[in-house]
């Protein structure tokens, strides 16, 4: 895709100010920047504990040009529900209320509140920027950490045992109007999904893979490339699902070996070739499941 097309498709308004506190190479502010461009200024952000609690800046500063409520780790979806109800009670049904949470706040500690909000079909958009571990506290495993990864609580001599939780299937099982995956390496796809979500009423969920140089043990300038490799290798396919049944892919996923993606990240450097082959088999098996979801709608 040419640069011209991208420039035309991405709104120019900047709602993320300079001077935020993200680490160099962090995907999380890139994701926020694109999402706010797509949503526009009539947006309110709920921020449960995550890296973004720091990135947004300490009191009395804020790097966002929209209202922002910092809240407890597990409460993103519930606080957003309350804000939306409050706005509606005062006659404002237009303002978009989003929850912006990391993988810990989504897959783990916030899952109950998220499930509650999804089941009630709250009129909010829940974003998960997923860096695949508790990065803000110093790289501890979460249920979004992939199999085989090193973290400070899954040391290289005994790395992560469990496959990454299938959060999209969980959200689809709630039959919410819209759920999607997105990537900072595919900005037009990301913006289009957010714009689409904005026009839908009810619960919407967008899961964005967010490479993390300090946590993934990668170079600062590899973030976008890694995000693209994750999509192309089918580790993190770009998809959307409406009403829990209508799944579709939104990008090409040529496949090919996952090894280059894995070997670029030092969090996997302890893995043997056999273990990388295991990851390949898991990705292939999961791809089959996903293609069946697209084909059969389940």
Partner 1 sequence: MKKVMIGNHAVSWGALRSRVEVVSAYPITPQTQVVEALSDMVANGSLEARYIKVESEHSAMAACIGASIAGTRTFTATSAQGLALMHELLHWAAGGRLPVVMADINRAMAPGWTIWTDQNDSLSQRDTGWIQLYCETNQEVFDTTIQSFKLAEAVNLPVMLVLDAFFLSHTSEPVDVTEQEDVDRFLPRREAVFKMDTADPRAFGALVRPDAYMEMRWHQQEAMQEARDVFRRVEDDWEALTGRRYGPVEAYRTEGADLLLVTSGTITSTARHVVDLRRAAGEAVGLIKVKMFRPFPTGELRALLGGVDRVAVLDRNISPGRGGIFAEEIRSALYDVPPEDRPILFGYVLGLGGRDVTPAVIDDIIDNTRMKSRPEREDLWVGVEL
Minimum Å gap between C-beta 232 and partner 1 is 37
Scanning the structure block, which residue is given the tokens 């894995």? 262
Task: Pull the structure tokens for residue 134.
Answer: 């508790």
- Beta partners for residue 277, in sequence order: none
Within the chain, strands assigned E span 43-48, 68-71, 96-101, 125-130, 178-183, 204-209, 239-242, 246-249
Minimum Å gap between C-beta 29 and partner 1 is 15
Question: For partner 1, which residue of 10, 23, 87, 188 counts as binding (CB under 8 A)?
Answer: 87
Q: Near partner 1 by CB under 8 A, which window of 78-86, 128-136, 181-189, 271-279?
A: 78-86
- Given a contact cutoff of 8 angstroms between Cβ atoms, the answer to whether 241 and 180 are in contact is yes
201 Cβ contact partners less than 8 Å away, ≥ 6 residues apart = 123, 177
User: Is residue 85 at the binding interface for partner 1, with CB under 8 A as the rule?
Assistant: yes
Classify the phi-psi angles of 132: left when phi > 0, otherwise alpha if psi is within -120 to 50, otherwise beta: left
Minimum Å gap between C-beta 198 and partner 1 is 14
Minimum Å gap between C-beta 127 and partner 1 is 16
Nearer to partner 1, 47 or 206 (CB): 47
Question: For partner 1, which residue of 10, 11, 23, 116 counts as binding (CB under 8 A)?
Answer: 116
User: Is residue 11 at the binding interface for partner 1, with CB under 8 A as the rule?
Assistant: no
Helix and strand numbers, DSSP H then E, in the chain: 12, 8
Nearer to partner 1, 115 or 153 (CB): 115
Question: For partner 1, which residue of 36, 74, 185, 197 counts as binding (CB under 8 A)?
Answer: 74
Nearer to partner 1, 29 or 187 (CB): 29
Burial 184-212 (b: 16+ CB within 10 A, else e): bbbbebbbbbbebbbeeeebbbbbbbbbb
User: Is residue 175 at the binding interface for partner 1, with CB under 8 A as the rule?
Assistant: no
The residues binding partner 1 (CB under 8 A) are: 41-44, 46, 53-54, 56-62, 64-72, 74-75, 77-90, 95, 112-113, 115-116, 119-120
């Amino acid at each position: 895709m040419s640069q011209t097309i991208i420039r035309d498709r991405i709104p120019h308004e900047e709602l993320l100010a300079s001077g935020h506190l993200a680490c160099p190479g962090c995907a999380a502010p890139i994701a926020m920047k694109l999402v706010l461009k797509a949503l526009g200024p009539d947006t309110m952000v709920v921020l449960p504990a995550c890296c973004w609690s720091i990135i947004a800046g300490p009191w009395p500063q804020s790097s966002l040009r929209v209202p922002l409520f910092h809240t407890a780790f597990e409460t993103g979806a519930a606080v957003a529900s309350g804000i939306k109800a409050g706005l509606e009670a005062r006659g404002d049904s237009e303002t978009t209320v989003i929850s912006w949470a990391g993988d810990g706040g989504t897959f783990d500690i916030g899952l109950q509140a998220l499930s509650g909000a999804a089941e009630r079909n709250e009129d909010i958009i829940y974003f998960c920027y997923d860096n695949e571990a508790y990065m803000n506290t110093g790289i501890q495993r979460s249920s979004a950490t992939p199999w085989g990864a090193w973290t400070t609580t899954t040391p290289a001599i005994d790395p992560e045992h469990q496959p990454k939780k299938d959060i999209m299937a969980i959200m689809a099982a709630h039959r919410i109007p819209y759920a999607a995956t997105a990537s900072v390496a595919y900005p037009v796809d990301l913006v289009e999904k957010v714009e689409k979500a904005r026009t839908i009423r009810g619960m919407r969920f967008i899961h964005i893979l967010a490479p993390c140089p300090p946590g993934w043990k990668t170079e600062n300038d590899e973030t976008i490339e890694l995000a693209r490799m994750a999509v192309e290798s089918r580790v993190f396919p770009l998809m959307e699902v409406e009403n829990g049944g209508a799944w579709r892919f939104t990008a090409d996923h040529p496949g090919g070996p996952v090894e280059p993606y894995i070997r670029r990240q030092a969090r996997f450097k302890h893995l043997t070739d056999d273990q990388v082959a295991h990851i390949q088999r898991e990705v292939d098996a999961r791809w089959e499941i996903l293609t069946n979801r697209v084909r059969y709608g389940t």
